[in-house]
């Protein structure tokens, strides 16, 4: 059965490939981008299935207009993909508010506003929300603290949404990619202007990683998209979907270190309730 999608950030990378893959299997797609001209070629490739719309996730009125367009054109939305996002490299002490706050506007508040705009349509017949987090949403690392914070916010919000939306038949899938060869490390990563020598051995290494890794990321985004489609189609979709071996290793390390902390500190850390009332 043909389904209707609304995808943010379709000018390149995962968003563009998801739009194309969904249309290639006969689904209808509202492919959105800050500059809708960036998706006109997708419309030309699938004129009966893909419609373009302008959506800057930092402008809630554009999200509302895109949802209205999807409802008018397709009769509703079955799958919302909150894909738009970008990164910032820098130690927490190096970052400036005008560098990290705009990223929260896109990665966190943009995702929230787009979701809120689409929820009434999604609740009508159920569906799926795919939220792009990252391996950086599983574990924090030096030089990525601000980006980690945005993706951890996506994780918490998505877990809450999954509970809230279960009664409406809406699944939430949190996609957690490791490094994939999109335009992310090229044009979608900003770098803190201030570089402190004190962080050369920790956060500073992340700056080198960006310079050395762009174009060499091991992940194939087309393969990632195939896995995402499979997860959406599953009868029991995963809540968490780490993609690629690096994200999987990150998740395994996180689980193991979390487990170690729980085990070592449990007896002390749980002895914190009020003493039982013995007067009865």
Which residues bind to ligand NAP, rule: CB under 6 A? 8-9, 11-15, 33-35, 38, 55-58, 83-86, 106, 110, 132, 134, 177, 179-180, 182-184, 187-188, 217
Q: Which is nearer to ligand NAP, 169 or 238 (CB)?
A: 238
The two tokens of residue 85 are 């996002």
Q: Which is nearer to ligand NAP, 104 or 124 (CB)?
A: 104
Catalytic annotation present for 134: no
Q: Which of 36, 144, 151, 158 is catalytic?
A: 151
Q: Which is nearer to ligand NAP, 56 or 155 (CB)?
A: 56
What DSSP assignment string belongs to 31-98? Answer: EEESSGGGGHHHHHHSTTTEEEEE--TT-HHHHHHHHHHHHHHHSS-SEEEE----EEES-TTT--HH
Catalytic annotation present for 209: no
Q: Which is nearer to ligand NAP, 57 or 79 (CB)?
A: 57
Are the CB atoms for 207 and 89 separated by under 8 Å?
yes
Catalytic annotation present for 20: no
Least distance in angstroms from the C-beta of 167 to ligand NAP: 28
Q: Which of 133, 134, 144, 158 is catalytic?
A: 133
Nearest residue to ligand NAP on Cβ basis: 13
* CA distances (Å), origin 213, targets 53, 87, 183, 209, 218: 32, 15, 12, 6, 9
Q: Show which residues are catalytic.
A: 133, 147, 151
């Amino acid at each position: 059965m043909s389904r209707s999608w609304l995808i943010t950030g379709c000018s390149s990378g995962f968003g563009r490939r998801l739009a194309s893959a969904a249309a290639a299997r006969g689904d209808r797609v509202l492919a959105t981008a800050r500059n809708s001209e960036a998706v006109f070629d997708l419309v030309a490739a699938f004129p009966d299935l893909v419609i373009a719309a302008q959506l800057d996730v930092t402008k809630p009125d554009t999200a509302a207009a895109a949802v209205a367009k999807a409802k008018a054109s397709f009769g509703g939305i079955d799958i919302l993909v909150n894909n738009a996002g970008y990164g910032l490299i820098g130690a927490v002490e190096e970052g400036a508010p005008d560098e990290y706050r705009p990223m929260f506007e896109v990665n966190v508040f943009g995702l929230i506003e787009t979701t809120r705009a689409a929820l009434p349509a999604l609740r009508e017949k159920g569906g799926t929300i795919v939220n792009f987090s990252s391996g950086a949403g599983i574990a924090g690392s030096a030089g990525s603290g601000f980006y980690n914070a945005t993706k951890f916010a996506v994780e918490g919000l998505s877990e809450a949404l999954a509970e809230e939306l279960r009664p409406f038949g809406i699944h939430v899938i949190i996609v957690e990619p490791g490094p994939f060869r999109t335009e992310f490390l090229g044009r979608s990563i900003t770098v803190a202007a201030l570089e402190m020598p004190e962080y050369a051995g920790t956060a500073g290494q992340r700056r080198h990683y960006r310079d050395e890794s762009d174009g060499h990321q091991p992940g194939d985004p087309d393969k990632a998209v195939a896995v995402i489609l499979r997860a959406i189609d599953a009868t029991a979709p995963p809540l968490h979907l780490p993609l690629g071996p690096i994200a999987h290793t990150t998740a395994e390390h996180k689980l193991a270190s979390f487990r170690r902390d729980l085990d070592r500190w449990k007896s002390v850390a749980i002895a914190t309730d009020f003493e039982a009332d013995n007067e009865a």
